[in-house]
Structure formats: C-alpha cells, structure tokens
Amino acid sequence: MFDELDKTRSIFRKFEPLAARQSAVLSSGEQPFGLRFDDVQSATHGRVNGRDILLAGTNNYLGLTYSRPCLDAAHEAIDQHGTATTGSRLANGTYSIHEELEQDLADFFGLPSAVIFTTGYQANLAAISALAGKGDHLLIDADSHACIYDACRLSDAATIRFRHNSPEDLERRLSRLPSEGARLVVVEGLYSMLGDVAPLAEFVEVAHRHDAYLYVDEAHSVGCYGENGQGVAAAQGILDKVDFLSGTFSKSFASIGGFCVSRHADFDFIRLMSRPYLFTASGSPSNVAAAHAALRQIRSEPELRTSLWARANQLHEGLVRAGFEPASAPGPVIALPRPDQETAVRQWNELLEAGIYVNLAIPPATPHAMSLLRLSVSAAHTSDDIDKIINAFSRLR
Amino acid sequence: MDQTGKTAQIGQAQIVERIRTALAPFLPPDAVVTEDMKIGSDIEIDSVEVFDVVMELEDYYDISLPMEITSDIQTIGDLAKAVEQQINV
Ligand SMILES: Cc1ncc(COP(=O)(O)O)c(C=O)c1O
C-alpha cells in the first residue's frame, strides 16, 4: 500500500534533497560519508578495497585503540563481567567498574562530582537538559556541536546563540536577559571542525560576572591540552573555575562513552532525573574498562602528548610549506578550507587514491558553509607517516 | 528611529524592512522579499544563515529571540511578528 501513497504523504519525501546531494558527492568517486573499511589494523592503518590506507582523520589523538593496557583491560572486563550490562545505571547497570571510573575521573580533574554516560552525545544531552530547566536560559556558541543543539531542544530552557568564540557577544546577550532564572553558558574547548580553541578564561570571567554558570565540552581536548592532559580549561589555568566539563571516551580515551565532571557536588543529582542518563543501558564492561585504562595512560604517559604535539607541528608546518592555509594554529585538528565543494570532494578522492584517509566536511555540517579537508593527528603517527601525508597533499591537483 | 531601533511604536512594515536588510547579504541583489514568503523554500537560505539573520535582528532591536521561538517561524511575516512581540515585552 505504501507504494501507492501520493507523493505528498510519503514519509520519505523529505529525503529527496538528500538523495540529490548524495549523488552530487558520489559522482566524483568513493562514498566519503560512511566509507567502508575492510578492517582497521592499528591506530593509524586500515584497509579500503583491499588497499592499505594511512588514517589521518579518526580523532584517535593519543593512538590508544591498540595500546596493550587498553586491549588487556577490555579483554579482562569481558571475561569478568560479560559483554553487556543490559540495564540502566539506576537499575542493574551500575557495576564497580562504572563507579571506579567515575572516582578516578573526579580525582583526575580534582573535582567532587563525576558522572559517566553511555556516549559523549548522551553526556551533553543528559547534563545540559537536566541543568537548564523551565524559566532558565541557555547561551550557546553558534558553532556548537549538534549534540549541544539537541540538548537545548530537550531542555525546557530558552536557548540563545552568541557569535562564535566571542566573549563580547556573549556579554551583550547576557545583559539582555531578565533577572529571573538560572543561566548556563555552553562552549567547547577545541572546536572539532576548524580546530580553533575557545578563549575560556575570558568566557568564564564574563559568565561569572553575569551570574551564569560555564559548561565546557572538552570532547576533543581532554588528553591533548594542558600539562596533565586535563584539557583547554586547564591549559588556560581556569579548570577550578569551570562549573561543568564534559568529554567523550570516543576520541583520546580509545573507547565509547562520555562523562561530565563538576566543581558542584550537587551535580550528582542529575542521576535521579536526567532522561538520557536514566533511560538507556550503561556502558559495556569492555568499553568502561578500556576508557579507564586510557585514563591511566593519559595520566602516567605525558610522552603521548609530547608526540602528538610534535606530529601536529610537523604536519601543520609541512602543509603550510606545501602552500595550504590551515584554518587554525597547529593542534590535533588541522582543517584546510577548499575553494568549493567540488574541489574538496575531488581532492578527498585523490588522497584516498594516494592511500591517505582524511575527513571531508561540507555544508551544512560546517560553519560559514565552508568545504573542508579535515585531518586529525595521532600520537601513534610516525614522523614518516606525517611526511607521507604532506607529500600526498603537495601532489593534489 | 534611534540606533537600536527601540522607539515607542515599531510597526510590522518597519520590521519587515529591517529583515530585508538583514537578509540581503545572503540573497541575490534583485531578490524580492515579501511577508508571505516561506523562509528556506521561497527564500533560499540555510538554517545557519537564518540564525545569522536572527542574531542581526536581536542586536538591532536589543531583544532576545530564543531558538524555541524562531524554530516555529515559517514566513517573513511570522519572523516580523516574533520580533514585534519581543520588542513590546
Ligand atoms: C564537540 C563534541 N561533543 C560531543 C561529541 C559526542 O561524542 P560521542 O562520539 O562520544 O558521542 C562529539 C563527537 O562527535 C563532539 O565532537
């Protein structure tokens, strides 16, 4: 019967523009969105269509997905606790390993409250939607990640956007708000698309001066920034002032899951009322154990950060020498704006042909409708790997 | 009208004119914008550009237009009405 529905009632009608966009991208080669890897054999190498590919777009910043401690911890956790918890944290899904990871995260950041979630996406959804309720105001950076936007939609608070990385614009918008209700400002530490860093010290000053709390998503920066790997807030010397700091286990922590820590002990109450925390199963034992092993490595192996930054500087410098203009200063994310979508798609294919995988980012997923080739650096990249990447870029047509 | 647009009576027509100005950078030079036009279909701008227009209007009129209000807006007339309501709160 569904085939007979007239076009205006077809549930799939809204996908038509997507199909057109998809075929425009596909016409120049491989499928850049959801490319199929035959397998991924290490933090830096995989195979596509039987060919060896050097991975330069996996957010595997510390390269720990194949580290011995992470592998061992994951294997052991499966043997001891099984493959899944099959339940919510509030019911049967809280094991000792979940609580131990929370305690160590609190200790790592030196903060009283730490809650882990099943994904980083859910961490933001859970924390932001629970913290900001009816009558409150959320103020979010215009370039925020989709999960921050989704969190705002789930929240009963009014959401106001301010211009990207602009404490002045935030201040203007804060000063227009009515005096009633709580205010929560949400920013990211390192922006994942362009690789730019937020001026957190200025944001926290403006926020607190206007009686607003500051929430920082450090999904891409924990493990990479700060002397101890605590992130951009720590690097800027204001970790003790940030009210809420969230992150993910899906990047530097070589697993899947997310967390939010706070200097406010009362943050723990979200466990009793936050829907994305309550109404989903807790992280699988192997994922929780791998994230915990990665946390220990982040704390005990500062050399991981040293290599990451050495490679990031090498790559940035090499790309500049090859005539490219990265969108931001050297860092774990290096984005190269391309003149238009066609060029970006074509060059993405040329790179894959040359054995290099990077991320293709095109509108509407990018700020200012940019088309980007996005690279992420890993501590597991060798100096030769980086040279190979630079070489491939310098040969692009 | 003063610099912020905060005068006693700001009518729909004035606000629509202001919306035209805010939209201009995103549209072809000869584009016609009327109150009944739908944003996104009749007026071809993407959601990111809509937000830029909203922020322009917030700054010009010194108001807050929360996303929860703007996400329900379909036409230029709806947007003008939302602005008018916020000016007069
Ligand atoms: C800024 C930001 N926050 C949160 C997330 C969500 O993380 P996860 O992959 O753990 O759901 C991501 C990852 O894509 C991100 O880039």
| Virtual torsion, Cα A254, A257, A260, A265, nearest 10 deg | -110
Chain A hits for B46, Cβ within 8 Å: 363-364, 369
Note the pLDDT of residue A366: 85
Decide: A119 in ligand 1 pocket, CB within 6 A.
yes
Note the pLDDT of residue A293: 98
- The whole-number average pLDDT for the span A212-219 is 98
A21-69 pLDDT tens trace: 788 777 767 778 889 999 999 999 999 999 999 999 999 999 999 999 9
Backbone angles phi, psi at B49, to 5 degrees: -70, -35
Ligand 1 centroid vs A322 CA: distance in angstroms?
A: 31
Per-residue pLDDT band at A1 (split at 50, 70, 90): low
Note the pLDDT of residue A45: 98
Note the pLDDT of residue A211: 98
Radius of gyration of chain A (CA): 22
Closest CA to A288 of A101, A81, A69: A101
Note the pLDDT of residue A29: 77
- The whole-number average pLDDT for the span A77-106 is 98
- The whole-number average pLDDT for the span A1-17 is 76
Q: What percent of chain A has pLDDT over 70?
A: 98
Neighbours of B28 (CB within 10 A): 7
Chain B hits for A175, Cβ within 8 Å: none
Distance from C-alpha of A252 to C-alpha of A378, rounded to nearest angstrom: 9
Nearest neighbour of A364 by CB, restricted to B46, B66, B68: B46
B14-64 pLDDT tens trace: 999 999 999 999 898 888 999 999 998 888 888 778 888 999 999 999 999
Closest CA to A256 of A122, A113, A396, A78: A122
Residue A180 pLDDT exceeds 50: yes
Residue B1 pLDDT exceeds 50: no
A221-263 pLDDT tens trace: 999 999 999 999 999 999 999 999 999 999 999 999 999 999 9
HSE-CB at A92 with a 13 A cutoff on CA atoms is: 5
Interface size A-B, in CB pairs within 8 Å, comes to 40
Per-residue pLDDT band at A3 (split at 50, 70, 90): low
Q: What ipTM goes with this model?
A: 0.84
Note the pLDDT of residue A5: 66
pTM for this predicted structure: 0.94
A292-335 pLDDT tens trace: 999 999 999 999 999 999 999 999 999 999 999 999 999 999 99
SS3 assignment for chain A: CHHHCCHHHCCCHHHHHHHHHHHHHHCCCCCCCCCCCCEECCCCEEEECCEEEEECCCCCCCCHHHCHHHHHHHHHHHHHHCCCCCCCCCCCCCCHHHHHHHHHHHHHHCCCEEEEECCHHHHHHHHHHHHCCCCCEEEEECCCCHHHHHHHHHCCCEEEEECCCCHHHHHHHHHCCCCCCCEEEEEECECCCCCCECCHHHHHHHHHHCCCEEEEECCCCCCCCCCCCCCHHHHCCCCCCCCEEEEECCCCCCCCCEEEEECCHHHHHHHHHCHHHHCCCCCCHHHHHHHHHHHHHHHHCCHHHHHHHHHHHHHHHHHHHCCCCCCCCCCCEEEEEECCHHHHHHHHHHHHHCCEECEEECCCCCHHHCEEEEEECCCCCCHHHHHHHHHHHHCCC
Yes or no: domain B5-87 corresponds to CATH 1.10.1760.20:
no
Ligand 1 centroid vs A248 CA: distance in angstroms?
A: 6
What are the structure tokens assigned to B42, written together? 């009749």
Are A292 and A257 in contact, with CB atoms under 8 Å apart? no
Distance from C-alpha of B58 to C-alpha of A306, rounded to nearest angstrom: 45
Domain boundaries, chain A: 20-55+302-394, 66-300
What is the average pLDDT value for chain A, to the nearest integer? 95
Give the best-scoring range by mean pLDDT among A3-12, A42-51, B68-77: A42-51
Chain B: give the shortest CA distance to residue A329, in Å. Answer: 25
Chain A hits for B54, Cβ within 8 Å: 161
The residues of A assigned a catalytic role are 192, 220, 251
- CATH number for the region A20-55+302-394 comes to 3.90.1150.10
Residue B12 pLDDT exceeds 50: yes
Distance from C-alpha of A207 to C-alpha of A214, rounded to nearest angstrom: 6
Backbone angles phi, psi at A231, to 5 degrees: 115, -170
End-to-end CA distance of chain B: 19
Note the pLDDT of residue B2: 47
Chain A: give the shortest CA distance to residue B73, in Å. Answer: 15
Contact A158 B68 (CB under 8 A): yes
Q: Which CATH number fits domain A66-300: 3.30.70.20, 3.40.640.10, 3.30.750.24, 3.40.190.10?
A: 3.40.640.10
Decide: A352 in ligand 1 pocket, CB within 6 A.
no
Residue A204 pLDDT exceeds 50: yes
Note the pLDDT of residue A31: 78
A51-55 and A356-357: which strand pairing?
parallel
Ligand 1 centroid vs A189 CA: distance in angstroms?
A: 12
Residue A95 pLDDT exceeds 70: yes
